[in-house]
A and B are shown apart, each in its own frame.
Chain A
Amino acid sequence: MSLRRAFAMLLCPALAAAAAAAGCRVQRPLNQHEREQILYQSTISDPRTFNPILVTDSASGEVVGDLFEGLVRINPITTLPEPGLAERWELSEGGKTIVFHLRHGVKWFDGAPFTARDVVFTMRAIYDPRVPNIEEPSLTVDGQPLKVEALDDYTVRMTMPRVFAPLLYAIGVPIVPAHLLEPALEAGKFNHTWGINTAPEKIVGLGQFEMARYVQAQFVQFKRYPDYWMRGEKGGRLPRLHGETLQIVPDGNAQYLRFLAGQIDIYTPRPEEVVDLRDKQQRLGITLKQIGIDTGSLFFAFNRNLNHYTRNGVVDPKYRWFTDLRFMRAIAHAVDKQGMINLCFHGLAVPAVSDTSPANKVFHNPNLKDYDYNLKEAGGLLEAAGYHLVNGVRRDPKGHRVEFNLATNTGVNVRDEMCVIFQQDLLRLGIKVNYRPLEFTTLVDKLDSTYDWDVVLIGFTGGIEPNNGADFLRSSGTLHLWYPKEPKPATAWEAEIDRLLEQGTMVMDPLKRAPYYWRIQAILHDQLPIIETVRQVRYQAWKNSLENFRPTVWGVYKPEWIEFRPE
């Protein structure tokens, strides 16, 4: 008897759960994205701040991106500056002075007019030593800030200490309202304004969307700003969408499932998903399009910092290997880029030759020739340089076993695999590689403070303006990975890069600037302080009902025109 009773006990919760499940088959509203003209997107993490000046991460950037605007915007197709809040601008004194003419009739969400005062205030906040922000370095010329004056309510003049070509690419900083934030800046409380606990209606911008609601770890909702300044052809209202919902989904797989379920309308598929989506395009009613080559750069960096290698007056032989061009060329020939493309990217990547992506149409140097993968040639180069293979072990001219440590950051599958591929190829050359992934903070500490590393696989995101990478290229830069903060250029070619960087900022015309940066890319390619690997080919997938959606690797072109096709 007791058995039956016990079974009844057991069944009860199960039945209850089933009943609950059946009972709460809530009437799910059909997919209303189209009818309501609300675009659903996803992002991987919560925003950290709503203050656009304080943003340091991509998730916050995505959230505030539609709320605020800059004087200038960059056209993602031509990669050239275009008018934003500034209707037009004039250069004078050979480019040392720029006068911006602001748009009339632009209003903040609270109805206050947008004027030159806001621009001056924004620049003041950026230069304020108490406000840590990422805009300041690119708006500083030779350590000096720009002089920013309001000539009248709708005219702003900026004066630079010298001609500084990258300015137009850097001046698109989001403008914040002076009338709301000025008191906080005066009181030194700017860093605590507009945190994520602020009520959405208190975040006052002038962009195409207003924030309507934010639920932590769930979503951010936006509604269209009715008084947005931009008008369509024939004066039609913009933006065309009525709203936007940004769902916070921290896991890539979960994002993909939501896209498949139709809960989000736009998705950036990973290589293995591209194949899957290609098969499902018809059934799901989606468009899948290749949008171009990734803008970033993923490379092996080799430590050339003498301080790291000197212990008790003895220099580690690794220093000699990594500064030995013959050795480095052999290593470059041992990087199986095609293998990495096939194994790690399902064939959806291209070999990277230069540290600047081909997506950067003007500044990418197309004339470099890649080091082709050829272990025989690599072995030959090593032998010729005096690195002999003895019983399967590679030894340097002084008889030391060639062996070094390789690291990358944990949790990125693709990098893990690339390191393992690299490791095996070098093993075939008799070189032992000790590979271990490190926590990101640990890795950065090594790169930035202790310099205790041999080789790392690391990636940088890329921008259009090449001077934004100056801290990496310049020998005195803190991000000059292979030897940060060199007291003076350690090699002649590093001195040349320093010179080229300086000269590159002096020429205003992008086409005339390009050759300086082409030369830098050629030097890096020849001297091999870093070995480039591959670049992913980017895809974008979106619902067929979405119109005017034109994604590029640099961002969406004319996002204000996006709409759902009327039924």
Chain B
Amino acid sequence: MPASHATMPDNHAAALAPATRAPRVRALLDGLGREWRRASWVVRLSVSCLLVFYFMAAASPFVAPYDPIRQYRELPDCPPMSLHLAPPAQWAHGFFYAYPMRMSDAAARIFTPDRTRKTYLRFFHHGHLFTTESPGEPYFIMGSDGLGRDLFSRIVYGARVSMCVGLIGVLISFSLGITVGAFSGYVGGLTDNLIMRWSEIEMSLPSFYFLLALAAVIPAGVSPVMTFFVIVAIMSFISWAGFARIIRGMAASVRSRPYVEAARALGASRARVIFLHVIPSVLGYAIVAATLSIPGFILGESALSLLGLGIQEPAASWGNLLAQAQDVQNLARYPWILIPGVFIFLTVMAFNFLGDHLRDRLDPGNLG
């Protein structure tokens, strides 16, 4: 048997045993541990990266040094501040310190450090991973935005939106797309015809218009969480149809393969054939396509915000933060506003390498 099936018995065993929680969890951990050791360094790095980002999202108030919406109005577009190692005598204050910044030219936003004073950095202070002694004198590790808000804190809070919108959106649209597509392609006939015509209707609808209408209907007082779910739902709703068509084409091709015909001949039910034979055969493509569509969701969310539909100011998302780099001027003068783009890039890479790895592991034909 292909080596890739090695984990299957464990999972089955764990699932079959009506045992207590602990052994089951241990089996799962063992399985994960084995997977971890088997994976290449690229995959390990990707997983670590994603874990860090999800931790950032889950523990934003702890990771972020400052309130992400607090405006330091005298420090707009402040560059990342450099950090200095304190001499041992001052270690009681903190190991590191920075010089507070002063705006020397308001129009050009040029800052000079005030070398007469020091702001000490404290770790695990006031319930933050790191922060300055007083929040009134901030240390901007990644600079500040146009309203003088700490960019790093905004990125940390933005992870909540962006790390979720990508994953949830992809999960919804692809599970919907793959099920419907596989069903449609496998069954064929009138059902296929109806489903495909419906997908065509959905694809032709001017989604932008739809969103515009929706933006107008949502009342102003709706909570951000609610809006967020609405966005994800809409984006998934819009994007599943195209994907379903692709899967359906592949499923139509699979249905005449010998192993599918064999399963049918053996009297397997339609659902069984679809879930055990048709879907696995298109899963490789689906996983890669899914991971590839994650950046689309993350960036698409910022387009929705521009319509007044997505995450609204003062809340942050990576897409919105990056959208501030739209201005050539801002870009040339304040290059650190591109940092959210680095986070998006890392997420995209990580998801894709993970997706590749999953595909390899799930592909029954892959002996490597």
CB–CB under 8 A between A and B in the complex?
Answer: yes
Segment with Cβ contacts to A, from B123-131, B214-222, B283-291: B214-222
B307 at the interface (CB under 8 A from A): yes
Shortest B209–chain A CB gap in Å is: 11
B106 at the interface (CB under 8 A from A): yes
Shortest A423–chain B CB gap in Å is: 7
Chain B, interface size: which category? 20 to 34
Q: Which of A424-480 contact B (CB under 8 A)?
A: 424, 434-439, 442, 445
Known interface pairs A336-B73, A417-B146, A420-B147; A435-B312 also in contact (CB < 8 Å): yes
* Chain A residues bordering chain B, tally (CB within 8 A): 39
Q: Which of A378-424 contact B (CB under 8 A)?
A: 405, 407, 410-411, 416-417, 419-421, 423-424
Segment with Cβ contacts to A, from B237-245, B326-334, B358-366: B326-334
Segment with Cβ contacts to B, from A65-73, A117-125, A269-277: A269-277
Known interface pairs A273-B329, A275-B107, A434-B221; A421-B313 also in contact (CB < 8 Å): no
Beta-carbon contacts of B52-72 to A below 8 Å, as 1s and 0s? Answer: 000000000000000001110
Q: Verify B148–A343 contact, CB threshold 8 A.
A: yes
Residues from chain A with Cβ under 8 Å of B146 in the complex: 343-344, 417
Q: Verify B307–A435 contact, CB threshold 8 A.
A: no
A342 at the interface (CB under 8 A from B): yes
A339 at the interface (CB under 8 A from B): yes
Residues from chain B with Cβ under 8 Å of A438 in the complex: 215-216, 308
Residue in B147, B220, B313 with the greatest tally of chain A CB atoms within 10 Å: B220
Residues from chain A with Cβ under 8 Å of B118 in the complex: none
Q: Verify B327–A253 contact, CB threshold 8 A.
A: yes
Residues from chain B with Cβ under 8 Å of A419 in the complex: 313
A74 at the interface (CB under 8 A from B): no
Q: In whole angstroms, how far apart are the Cα atoms of A139 and B240 in the complex?
A: 57
Q: Verify B329–A276 contact, CB threshold 8 A.
A: yes
B212 at the interface (CB under 8 A from A): yes
Known interface pairs A343-B146, A417-B147, A437-B308; A407-B73 also in contact (CB < 8 Å): no
Q: Verify B314–A347 contact, CB threshold 8 A.
A: no
Q: Which of B266-322 contact A (CB under 8 A)?
A: 306-308, 312-314
Shortest B234–chain A CB gap in Å is: 16
Q: Which of B13-42 contact A (CB under 8 A)?
A: none
A11 at the interface (CB under 8 A from B): no
Beta-carbon contacts of A254-283 to B below 8 Å, as 1s and 0s? Answer: 001100000000000011111110110000
A240 at the interface (CB under 8 A from B): no
B367 at the interface (CB under 8 A from A): no
B226 at the interface (CB under 8 A from A): no
Closest to B211 in A: A439
Known interface pairs A343-B147, A439-B216; A253-B328 also in contact (CB < 8 Å): yes
Residues from chain A with Cβ under 8 Å of B221 in the complex: 405, 434
Shortest B207–chain A CB gap in Å is: 15
Q: Which of B196-220 contact A (CB under 8 A)?
A: 212, 215-216, 220
Q: Which of A490-546 contact B (CB under 8 A)?
A: none
Residues from chain B with Cβ under 8 Å of A256 in the complex: 328-329
Q: In whole angstroms, how far apart are the Cα atoms of A273 and B327 in the complex?
A: 10
Q: In whole angstroms, how far apart are the Cα atoms of A424 and B67 in the complex?
A: 12
- Contact among A253, A274, A342 with B73 in the assembled complex (CB-CB below 8 Å): A342
Q: Verify B107–A348 contact, CB threshold 8 A.
A: yes
Closest to A439 in B: B212
Residue in B70, B73, B108, B329 with the greatest tally of chain A CB atoms within 10 Å: B329
Interface of A is mostly: helix
Q: Verify A343–B215 contact, CB threshold 8 A.
A: no
A550 at the interface (CB under 8 A from B): no
Closest to A279 in B: B108
Residues from chain B with Cβ under 8 Å of A436 in the complex: 220, 308, 312
Q: In whole angstroms, how far apart are the Cα atoms of A253 and B333 in the complex?
A: 14
Q: Verify A272–B329 contact, CB threshold 8 A.
A: yes
A346 at the interface (CB under 8 A from B): yes
Residues from chain A with Cβ under 8 Å of B326 in the complex: 253
Q: In whole angstroms, how far apart are the Cα atoms of A253 and B330 in the complex?
A: 11
Residues from chain A with Cβ under 8 Å of B107 in the complex: 271, 274-275, 278, 346-348
Q: Verify B308–A410 contact, CB threshold 8 A.
A: yes
Residue in A275, A279, A344, A445 with the greatest tally of chain B CB atoms within 10 Å: A275
Shortest B266–chain A CB gap in Å is: 40
Q: In whole angstroms, how far apart are the Cα atoms of A417 and B330 in the complex?
A: 15
B185 at the interface (CB under 8 A from A): no
B76 at the interface (CB under 8 A from A): yes
Shortest A407–chain B CB gap in Å is: 7
Residues from chain A with Cβ under 8 Å of B147 in the complex: 343, 417, 420-421
Residues from chain B with Cβ under 8 Å of A257 in the complex: 328
Beta-carbon contacts of B318-354 to A below 8 Å, as 1s and 0s? Answer: 0000000011111011000000000000000000000
B109 at the interface (CB under 8 A from A): yes
Closest to B307 in A: A410
Q: Verify B215–A405 contact, CB threshold 8 A.
A: no
Q: Verify B73–A343 contact, CB threshold 8 A.
A: yes
Residues from chain A with Cβ under 8 Å of B327 in the complex: 253, 272
Shortest B297–chain A CB gap in Å is: 21
Residues from chain A with Cβ under 8 Å of B71 in the complex: 339, 343, 420-421, 424
Known interface pairs A420-B147, A436-B220; A343-B308 also in contact (CB < 8 Å): no
Q: In whole angstroms, how far apart are the Cα atoms of A271 and B108 in the complex?
A: 10
Q: Provide 10 A-B residue pairs closer than 8 Å at the C-beta atoms, listed in order of the A residue.
A: A273-B329, A275-B109, A278-B107, A339-B73, A343-B71, A343-B76, A416-B313, A417-B147, A420-B314, A424-B314
Task: Given A339-B73, A347-B106, output 20 extra A-B contacts at Cβ < 8 Å.
Answer: A253-B328, A270-B329, A272-B333, A275-B108, A276-B332, A278-B107, A343-B73, A343-B146, A343-B148, A346-B108, A348-B107, A420-B71, A421-B73, A421-B147, A434-B221, A435-B314, A436-B220, A436-B308, A442-B212, A442-B216
Binding site for A on B (CB under 8 A): 69-71, 73-74, 76, 106-109, 146-148, 212, 215-216, 220-221, 306-308, 312-314, 326-330, 332-333
Binding site for B on A (CB under 8 A): 253, 256-257, 270-276, 278-279, 336, 339, 342-344, 346-348, 405, 407, 410-411, 416-417, 419-421, 423-424, 434-439, 442, 445
- Which A-B residue pairs are the 9 nearest by beta carbons? A405-B220, A347-B106, A442-B216, A272-B329, A275-B108, A437-B308, A339-B73, A253-B328, A347-B107
